Amino acid sequence: MPTETELKLHLEPEVVSQFKQHPLLQTATHTTAPQHLYNTYFDTVNHTLLQQGIGLRIRRMGEQRIQTIKSAGAGLGGLHQRQEWETLVSGDSPEYSQFPPEALPTWCHDENNLQQIVPLFVTDFTRMTWHLILEEGSEIEIALDQGEVKTPAACLPLCEVELELKSGSPTKLYQIALKLQKALPLRIENKSKAALGYALHQPQPPQFHKAGTLNLTPEMNAEQAFVAIIWHCIGHWQANEEIVLHSDAPEGIHQMRVALRRLRSGLNLYQSLIPKESYTKLHHQLKWLTTILGTARDWDIFTQHLAEIQRYADDSLSDLSKTIAELRRNTYVNVRHILDSSEYSRLLLTLGKWLTQRRWRKNMEMRALQSLEQPVSHFANQILPARYQKLCQQGEQLSKLNAKQRHSLRICVKKMAYATRFFSNLYPPATTLAFTKILSQLQEQLGILNDARTVTTLFNQIHPTTASSTRQLLKKYFKQHQDENLNQLAKIWQNFLEQPPFWNLTTE
């Protein structure tokens, strides 16, 4: 039961010849001539196997037929890791008896279910490969695939580079990808060929994705938990790429920005163990990307509130509405341009390399290394009380805080909320749910109050003059809700102070 580890990169067809001449490929110990690969993928029309986390295909190479089952696996930072089983077959239909029992989900044990499995789509491409043996002995196969993904009704061009790890560390895949990308406009491809085929067979509008559950376990040490946290945030981030690239739905931008804020919060959370000096450049790049997304998110907020005001205002806001729509559209174009750039993929590749290489360990003293190896529960029991104390101090005299100070409190609440959700699986759910719920309520209420500050700032960018009937209308709109929101915030804050910290409940 081998595990396939590969990095996928999209390549524009017009630079294929340039790719083939890259100096790195000239060092290959072995090169194969172009080979035609014709792959038929099987599932039910409702994608039952996909829902079971299984991919089933038959590859035709000349007269040979190879059937393969792959597990769902992970696709983060372009890196795909899956278990796979391969067997020779005599024809173009699956022979399920050839697979070991553990390769097939329970659903496949029923012969009636197997009858529902049919060919869904085809990948038809030509592959060239280069086999590299690196100085320290790692082996990597580089494949160039050019062709099509096809269903009876649609077709999608395919041009991608796959770096498959034959032996060694996944870090080497990132290093090779970064070397290639210095000369070529390579972009990370997180969708497998199968995923492209499924999307072509049954097109669906892009969906936004929330963070989901992070499954830390008490057996992990602090460093293992850190790596899991950052990969989880990257997964949340990249899960929203499609909706940001192909939809104007505001939730996509919002979730991608949340993912980046969670990631940066995770880095900050571990600053006592993993100093910022070990990722200074990454820190600046992540902050830059978060700011770009934040600008787009701010115009979304303005758009949403303006639509609410227009419900009871006259047509005097129509010109402002058109201006806001144009500015929002421009920020989305800018975001998409960045996500489609080599620089963006380079950021993800560099982050993946940093995580797999654990670069922060370089030049660490023994005592610091030992701190990384402490149980994650010990680290959580240190960091959560510290965050809690800082939050309580920030919220003292809540009723006297101005808008800027409330914004600082909001950031503090978010950091507490992210830390709580990162480590919540280490504690009994009954003790964490109430605490997490109150933090969510605080976030929401402070967010509503901060919207007035955001909208006012953006309006000042468009119309800096003070005498404006529209300005007065906006001020009146937010003032109508402010007192009620402040009263609600005070109640939630009091509930928060009365809620016993869950880490105390489990350590007493």
pLDDT tens profile 303-339: 999 998 888 776 778 888 999 999 999 999 999 999 9
What are the domain boundaries of the chain? 3-201, 207-374, 375-508
- What is the per-residue pLDDT for 504? 83
- Which tokens go with 191? 């969708």
CA–CA separation, 229 and 235 (whole Å): 10
Task: Kindly indicate the confidence band of residue 77, based on its pLDDT and cuts at 50, 70 and 90.
Answer: low
Compute the distance between CA of residue 280 and CA of residue 189 in angstroms, rounded to an integer.
26
Residue 32 backbone phi and psi in degrees, to 5: -100, 145
* Mean pLDDT within 237-252: 96
pLDDT at 507 over 60: no
375-508: CATH number? 1.40.20.10
pLDDT in tens, 338-381: 999 989 999 999 999 999 999 999 888 999 999 999 999 999 99
- 425-470 confidence digits (pLDDT tens): 999 998 899 999 999 999 999 999 999 999 989 998 887 665 578 8
Q: What does the pLDDT read at residue 80?
A: 64
Within 8 A by CB and 6+ apart from 115, the residues are: none
* Whether pLDDT at 1 is above 50: no
Which H/E stretch holds residue 433?
A: helix 429-462
Class of the 3-201 domain? mainly beta
| Distance in Å from the first CA to the final CA of the chain | 46
Q: Is 42 helix (H, G, I), strand (E, B) or coil?
A: strand
Name the token pair of 233. Answer: 């945030």
Q: Cα-flanking dihedrals φ and ψ of residue 10, to 5°?
A: -85, 140
CATH topology of domain 207-374: CHAD domain (1.40.20)
List CB contacts of 435: < 8 A, sequence separation 6 or more: 420, 499, 501, 502
Centroid of chain to Cα 122: 28
Nearest to 111 by CA among 97, 93, 121: 97
89: tokens are 């077959």
The confidence score (pLDDT) of residue 476 equals: 86
Distance CA(116)–CA(112), nearest Å, equals 7
> Over 50: is that where the pLDDT of 76 sits?
yes
- CA–CA distance, 269 with 273 (Å, rounded to integer): 9
Task: Check if 3-201 and 207-374 are the same fold.
Answer: no
Checking if the pLDDT of 495 tops 50, the result is: yes
pLDDT of 78 strictly over 80: no
- 402: exposed, middle or buried (Cβ count in 10 Å: 0-12, 13-18, 19+): exposed
